[in-house]
């Protein structure tokens, strides 16, 4: 999202492709190089009409929930986190033989999200700790071989997906929760759109060539401008915030969205895959869309709780 120039097709335009360890990889050995460049009308290389259509449908579902029974948004978050967890577990196992403890991660992940509604961060963190313990115990039956790898990946999955997702769920709980969720999502969309436009039109200087070759500093600048403007507008118009608070909020979202993109790209390069799945046409898997939303949800909740307590 933030500052992306179209990392959906990472590696397809590199010559030679860059391996995760920084060494030049031949086309035959590079996972990215094996994926043909999509033939679409978009300069970014993805199926833009399909991507836009899917984005509109997802946005409509979220808005419908927010403006009917706003707590339905928590259910949407819960379903999304479950799907994302399954995608990550399947990708890790098929690509690298990493066995994430799927049952405790799924069950504990739902507990993390739903307990964050009545009990806030205390409920989410308590469920998180118990889920981590469950993952460690669950993996014992698999023996010593690969225990640290699998248990560590399971703990990472719990923190990265349902725990971060719980902060998105907690945004909707206060009386002005609809405005908080909208400020968060508009900020991420603005970062994505600004980075996409600036990167495609002006992107020349790679930001992290060994991680996400098509992400540029020009795209990051576009994300920052769009994010700051969106933050200033949303906090002053949708919430009782000040423009300067919105500018800080927007800039923080851009930073975390970009971090999320880079982390997701690094995970996929480590696993040697292009997408986490194929659930969403034009996007890839659901995790390919959640990458920038998850860390941004944490920072959004923290900043809005500080700026607008209550």
* Domain chopping of the chain, boundaries: 68-173, 176-310
Q: Which of 84, 98, 45 is nearest to 164 (CA)?
A: 84
Q: Can you point out the beta strands (E) in 164-241?
A: 206-208, 212-216
Q: Which of 125, 184, 173, 115 is nearest to 310 (CA)?
A: 173
Mean pLDDT of 35-45: 44
Question: What are 212's strand-pairing partners?
Answer: 208
Mean pLDDT of 126-155: 97
Q: State yes or no: cis peptide before 16, omega within 30 of 0.
A: yes
E strand or H helix that includes residue 17: strand 17-18
Give the three-state DSSP class for 1. Answer: coil
Phi/psi region, residue 22 (left: phi>0; alpha: psi -120 to 50; beta: rest), is left
Q: What's CA 90's distance to the chain center, in Å?
A: 17
pLDDT at residue 43 greater than cutoff 60: no
Query: What's the chain's average pLDDT?
Result: 87
Mean pLDDT of 200-229: 93
| 18 and 213 Cβ atoms separated by less than 8 Å | yes
pTM (two decimals): 0.82
46 band by pLDDT with thresholds 50, 70 and 90: low
In percent, the amount of the chain with pLDDT more than 70 equals: 85
The span from the CA of 231 to the CA of 244, in Å, is 9
Mean pLDDT of 204-225: 93
pLDDT at residue 51 greater than cutoff 90: no
Residue with tokens 């097709």: 9
pLDDT at residue 21 greater than cutoff 50: no
Longest dimension (CA), the chain: 56
Cα dist from 148 to 27, 68, 144, 267, 296, whole Å:
32, 45, 8, 18, 29
Per-residue pLDDT tens over the stretch 238-284: 999 999 999 999 999 999 999 999 999 999 999 999 999 888 876 78
Residue 247 contacts by C-beta under 8 Å, 6 or more apart in sequence?
A: 228, 231, 232
Mean pLDDT of 106-126: 97
Of 192-206, 273-287, 294-308, least confident by mean pLDDT is 273-287
Mean pLDDT of 96-121: 97
Per-residue pLDDT tens over the stretch 142-164: 999 999 999 999 999 999 999 99
Q: Which of 217, 225, 216, 215 is nearest to 194 (CA)?
A: 225
pLDDT at residue 297 greater than cutoff 60: yes
Q: What is the pLDDT of residue 147?
A: 97
| Cα-based torsion angle of the residue sequence 200, 38, 21, 81 in order, rounded to the nearest 10 degrees | 90
The span from the CA of 223 to the CA of 228, in Å, is 8
pLDDT at residue 17 greater than cutoff 60: no
Q: What is the pLDDT of residue 29?
A: 40
Q: What is the pLDDT of residue 266?
A: 95
The tally of CA atoms less than 13 A away on the side-chain side of residue 157 is 36
pLDDT at residue 14 greater than cutoff 80: no
Q: Which of 285, 271, 274 is nearest to 20 (CA)?
A: 271
Mean pLDDT of 181-209: 93
Q: Tell which wins on pLDDT, 280 or 63.
A: 63
45 band by pLDDT with thresholds 50, 70 and 90: low
Question: How many CB atoms are closer than 10 A to CB 169?
Answer: 28
Mean pLDDT of 99-123: 97
Mean pLDDT of 111-125: 97
């Amino acid at each position: 999202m933030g500052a992306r120039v179209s990392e959906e097709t990472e590696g397809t335009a590199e010559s030679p492709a860059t391996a995760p360890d920084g060494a030049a990889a031949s086309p035959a050995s590079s996972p990215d190089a094996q994926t043909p460049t999509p033939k679409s009308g978009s300069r970014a290389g993805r199926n833009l009409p399909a991507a836009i259509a899917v984005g509109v449908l997802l946005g409509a579902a979220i808005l419908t929930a927010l403006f009917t029974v706003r707590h339905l948004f928590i259910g949407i978050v819960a379903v999304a986190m479950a799907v994302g967890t399954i995608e990550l577990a399947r990708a890790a196992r098929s690509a690298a033989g990493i066995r994430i403890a799927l049952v405790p991660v799924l069950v504990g992940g739902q507990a993390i999200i739903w307990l964050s509604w009545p009990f806030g961060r205390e409920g989410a963190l308590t469920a998180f700790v118990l889920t981590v313990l469950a993952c460690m115990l669950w993996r014992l039956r698999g023996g010593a071989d690969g225990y640290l790898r699998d248990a560590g990946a399971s703990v990472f999955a719990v923190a990265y997906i349902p725990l971060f997702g719980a902060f998105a769920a907690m945004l909707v709980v206060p009386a002005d929760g609809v405005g908080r969720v909208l400020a968060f999502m508009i900020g991420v969309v603005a970062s994505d759109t600004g980075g996409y436009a600036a990167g495609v039109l002006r992107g020349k200087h790679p930001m992290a060539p060994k991680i996400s070759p098509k992400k540029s500093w020009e795209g990051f600048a576009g994300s920052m401008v769009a994010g700051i403007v969106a933050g200033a507008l949303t906090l002053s118009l949708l919430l009782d915030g000040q423009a300067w608070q919105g500018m800080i909020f927007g800039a923080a979202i851009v930073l975390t969205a970009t971090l999320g993109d880079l982390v997701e790209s690094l995970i996929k390069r480590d696993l040697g895959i292009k997408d986490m799945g194929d659930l969403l046409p034009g996007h890839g898997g659901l995790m390919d869309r959640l990458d920038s939303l998850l860390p941004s949800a944490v920072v959004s909740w923290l900043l809005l709780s500080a700026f607008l307590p209550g």
